[in-house]
Chains A and B, each alone.
Chain A
Amino acid sequence: MQTFDITIVGGGHAGIEAAHIAAQFGVSVAIITMPGIGLGSAPCNPSVGGVGKGQVVRELDALGGLMGILADKAGIQFRTLNDSKGFAVQSTRVQIDKDLYSQRAEELIANIPNISVIREKVLEIKPSEDNFEITTSKRSYRTKKIIMTVGTFLNGKLHTGSSQTLGGRVDCEPSRGLQTLFSDIKTLPLRFKTGTPPRIDKKTIDYTKLDEQPSDSTVRNFHCLHDPFTRLSEQVSCFLARTNHETMGIIRANKEKSPMFNGQIKGVGARYCPSIEDKAYRYPDKNVHHVFIEPEGLKLDTMYPSGISSSLPADVQLEYVRSIEGLEKAEILVYGYAVEYDVIDTTELKITLEHNQIPNLYFAGQVNGTSGYEEAAGQGFIAGANATLALLGLDPLILSRHESYIGVMIEDLTSNTRDEPYRLFTARSENRLFIREDNSIQRMFPYRSQLLLNTTLDIYQKIFLHDFEELLDFCDETMIPEYSPLILEFSGEGDLQKLSRRMSVTEILKQAWLNPISTLERVLGYHGVVVPLDLIRTVAISKKYDGYIKNSQVQHEKLKKMDGMKIDWQNISSSKNISFECRQRVTRIKPETFGQLKLIEGIRPATLAVVAAKAL
């Protein structure tokens, strides 16, 4: 029987990240994935990144993940979201060519000798002494650790109108229910639901009636070792269409045919990702909704109309699509559908994403109740790294929520059960000015170096951070005299904005009316210093926010130290000084750190106080 150190079930965004990072350590890795689906496929929207998510992709990239590399290679339209709202909340979003993305993922994984890709359907997983036996449709394998990244395939059921098929996504076989794979695993009592819109034949759209959104050439590529602005694919545009009175009227008239509203679907959908039916019934007065028309690939015939996901019958879908200006002659190539699936109770997971009841079993991605490729990839990386680190007897990789969105997500997931699919929003972070895209290397370097992998990436990061420190010093130490032409140039209009004295570069960068990046570029140019733009960007923004961040840093350091404090949940649940209710909750969630304990719903302040004071 073939034996692996680590086996990943599922070859989606979580699965490939897990496999890739695990393989870096030299252990033997297997990905078992459904036959017929490419690795890293994108069954829903054809884009990577977005507000909060862009930060995750860059965090992953700095940690040594795959998503940034793949998104760059398959990126066909780049945009910065929140461009006008301040550097800390700006995020990159890349439209990807789905086929290209998956092809590149296949190539990348195929080039790693210690990863075996097994395209078989898993029938049974049996824990035996210190390993697992996996039986597929063809044979059996043995593995020391398993990472489950099965997406929506657990008891998946698809709905289009009244037609229902079993499966995790269109044209795929279903996988066995989680309960039959592991009888001990607790799933949430409720099922989650997600939906996807109909795909439109791109030749049948009248683009002259839509607003064009071209690719932005000034957006930096994701991967830090890629040249920042050289695109690796041809660039195309997205388009903006709008629903109207007629569109929404058609949907409202067919309410009884919607599986979501006639009781056929019982799963809980995400409120931030409503179907067009949701929008029609919940906001009866609103008829104009944006529909972003996004290309699914350079060679693919389909366009993805973001904003009109639906599980209405096929004929109704065609009718409402054709009521939209520009789509009057549209043909639908794949109809929209909703999928219901099981998710596990993530409070049963440790911060390493290992299951509490079944050691050596890890979970990552949509099966954990999250939505989004980026969220899945982030978890996949953490699960893959931790499974391997545990195997090698090394310290686990635990990202602080004060330093990363991945940390925010994992702490949120493991501390509370969710009643709807979980997506990252920047609002979930308490430290938004610091968790930015531009400083992902500074933030992730300590975690990356903990892995001791010493690759090109590590060398690049070390040099980058060294130069970063030097440029910071340059800004502090370089004084610009008041008679310098630079000062005149930087003075704004009005008395308050006059720079009339000798100032350090740092001081100048903090002036509210100046764009710190172009200002620093100008200063460096004047001094004849040549520095890569990435460095200029992160130094300029760091200086700009310096005051704000320093002010809260002391507080954050305390929080971080306190929240990171390891606690013994068994001690808490057996302490007579803790209320019965709190003990029950602690026993259920099994928090490992104080920060996690704090996040558990219904934990009383007194319990926190007693634990913080170590007075159990």
Chain B
Amino acid sequence: MKFLYSDEPIIACSTCNHANAALAVLRISGFKHLDTLLPFFSHSGPIEPRRVYYTKLRSGDEVLDDICLTYFEGPKSYNGENILELSIHGNTLNTERILKFFIDKANCRLAAPGEFTYRGLKNKKLTLSQVEGLDLFLNANSGYALDQGLSLLSGNLQEIYTELYDLFLKHKSALELSIDFGDDVGEETAKGYFNSSLIDFKKKFTTLHRRVITMEHNLLQPEIVLAGLPNSGKSSLFNHLLREERAIVSALAGTTRDYLSESLVIEGVKYKLIDTAGIREATDLIEAEGIKRTKNKMQHSFFSILLINPLEMRHEFSDLAKLHFDAVYFTHKDVNGFAEAHKKVIKDFPQFGPMGAIDLLNSQSELEVDLFTFINKKYLTLTKDKPILLDRHKILISEVNTHLDRYVKLTTYETDVAVLSHELNILATCLSELLGIVSPDQILNSIFSNFCIGK
């Protein structure tokens, strides 16, 4: 219920920001003076209310986007506050980047659902009947399990939130236990419970956080990475999948020095297909850099494919096999001696992905079908929990993560329990937007039911 008390500037994307579109509209509401925001725009000179200005949005010297801005001066605005409306390019990544920019640099807070409108109600610009579904959006904003809001989330995620809530309650109880009942349970017990409950909570939260971070990267623009030793046929597969001669294919190993990327659409989802440089112990500086980037790319990719030419194995291969791959293909099937070589290699190769032997020179449509089905399946599995991509959750989870890191660090040296509890309360406030409020009565209940308290 933060927003009942808050009058700080808020920002949100007023158009849908979960799909790419030509334009997106961002609104910032509740800033005291326009002057505080002007340094972010290239426009010089006065800005009159209710006129559209074409300008550049910039972060220092870097131009973030070409935009149109309109200023609505309070109280003559939709909700009675100063509002700045920005029309930006509607790519989801761009939208997200600019939202983050204003949150970090302009002290804006991401608006809770319905908060713009609520301010209108507060400022008497709107009446209750105009604020349709007030109950709905407000209820989504508080209380355990966020009532409606959380039920929108798919099963697995809701479970994680519920578990996190319980683990947090346990940790908070442990801290309160040591303050209010230290005499009753003894220092050692209280301390042990404090430490173990923090480890449990941190562990669970880190899982969630990691998932947000990787999914953000992976699912907004999923990358399919092709990797393999030089001359293993990466470029051939790349071209084959794209059906065009994009990479330079030659019989000489080591032609692709950096990586190439192209868009590839499978079942309506747009992927970035990446052909990496051949991995080998390069002496060439440019190539060495390319290899480093390849390894990095693979680790962060959505789907990685390893290509192996069993006829040309080298010692670097063992290094490569340690990385994770979604699929492995054996190439050069058309070459003499493939069968024996393949047999030898496959023995000591871990079994994962659709492992097949392919002849890339002869177009094989089954390969494509298999691979595409496999990629699509992975995408669907991961996006089952799609609502986690909602900006509100993502930003909150990152915010909680920052507070949690600070808090965990503090616990290693701060002996003042009151200070720890103060920091934990800040974390709790932040967390309550995600999980609901942990009330003193719940904490006391948890203490009474788990410990023998009292004299």
Contacts and interface: CB of A to CB of B under 8 A. Distances in A.
B180 A608 contact: no
A426 B138 contact: no
A609 B4 contact: yes
B76 interface: no
Contact of B128 (A577, A579, A605): A577
Contact of B139 (A81, A89, A558, A606): A606
B381 to A, nearest CB: 35
Contact of B418 (A86, A430, A615): A86
B280 to A, nearest CB: 45
B253 interface: no
Given A274-B452, A427-B444, A428-B440, A86 B134 contact: no
B38 interface: no
B223 interface: no
Contacts of A85: 178-179, 182, 415-418
A516 to B, nearest CB: 11
A51 B179 contact: yes
A559 B179 contact: no
Given A85-B418, A559-B5, A609-B138, A425 B176 contact: yes
B127 A81 contact: no
A562 B4 contact: yes
B416 A86 contact: yes
Contacts of B142: 605
Q: Size range of the interface on A?
A: 35 or more
A538 to B, nearest CB: 15
Nearest to A274: B454
Q: Of residues B182, B414, B454, which shows the largest number of chain A Cβ atoms within 10 Å of its Cβ?
A: B454
B413 interface: yes
B134 A610 contact: yes
Interface string A264-288: 0000001111100001001100100
Contacts of B414: 512
A82 interface: yes
Interface in A67-103: 81-82, 84-89
Given A272-B454, A279-B452, A82 B182 contact: yes
A306 interface: yes
Contacts of B455: 45, 273, 290, 292, 306-307, 309
A84 B415 contact: yes
B141 interface: yes
B74 interface: no
Interface stretch (B88-96, B200-208, B400-408, B419-427): B419-427
Interface string A125-168: 00000000000000000000000000000000000000000000
A250 interface: no
B418 A87 contact: yes
B179 A271 contact: no
B1 interface: yes
A604 B139 contact: yes
B417 A286 contact: no
Contacts of B37: none
A316 interface: no
B453 interface: yes
Given A51-B179, A273-B454, A88 B418 contact: yes
A608 B182 CA distance: 37
Given A425-B444, A426-B180, A612-B122, A86 B135 contact: no
A612 B4 contact: yes
A426 B179 contact: yes
B178 to A, nearest CB: 7
Q: Of residues B134, B135, B455, which shows the largest number of chain A Cβ atoms within 10 Å of its Cβ?
A: B455
B396 interface: no
Nearest to B4: A612
Contacts of A306: 455
A608 B437 CA distance: 15
Interface SS of B by simple majority: helix
Contacts of A613: 118, 121-122
A273 B440 CA distance: 18
Given A82-B182, A559-B5, A609 B415 contact: no
B203 to A, nearest CB: 25
Contacts of A336: none
B224 interface: no
A167 to B, nearest CB: 24
A605 B453 contact: no
Nearest to A90: B418
Contacts of B425: 430
Nearest to A408: B440
B143 interface: yes
A579 B135 CA distance: 10
Contacts of A433: 418-419, 422
Interface in A573-616: 577, 579, 604-606, 608-610, 612-615
A555 interface: yes
B54 interface: no
B306 interface: no
A544 to B, nearest CB: 8
Interface string B418-455: 11011001100000000000001001100011001111
A432 B444 contact: no
B368 interface: no
B416 to A, nearest CB: 3
A549 to B, nearest CB: 9
B415 A562 contact: no
A428 B179 CA distance: 12
Contacts of B443: 427
A88 B421 CA distance: 10
Interface string B152-181: 000000000000000000000000101111
13 contacts: A51-B180, A85-B415, A86-B416, A88-B419, A272-B453, A307-B454, A548-B419, A548-B422, A558-B6, A604-B138, A605-B1, A610-B128, A612-B122
Interface of A: 45, 51-52, 81-82, 84-89, 270-274, 279, 282-283, 286, 289-290, 292, 306-307, 309, 425-428, 430, 432-433, 512, 545, 548, 552, 555, 558-559, 562, 577, 579, 604-606, 608-610, 612-615
Interface of B: 1, 4-7, 118, 121-122, 124, 127-128, 134-135, 138-139, 141-143, 176, 178-184, 413-419, 421-422, 425-426, 440, 443-444, 448-449, 452-455
Given A606-B138, A609-B121, 19 more contacts: A45-B455, A85-B178, A85-B182, A87-B416, A87-B418, A88-B418, A270-B454, A274-B454, A290-B184, A426-B176, A427-B444, A432-B418, A552-B426, A558-B7, A610-B134, A612-B4, A613-B118, A613-B122, A615-B127
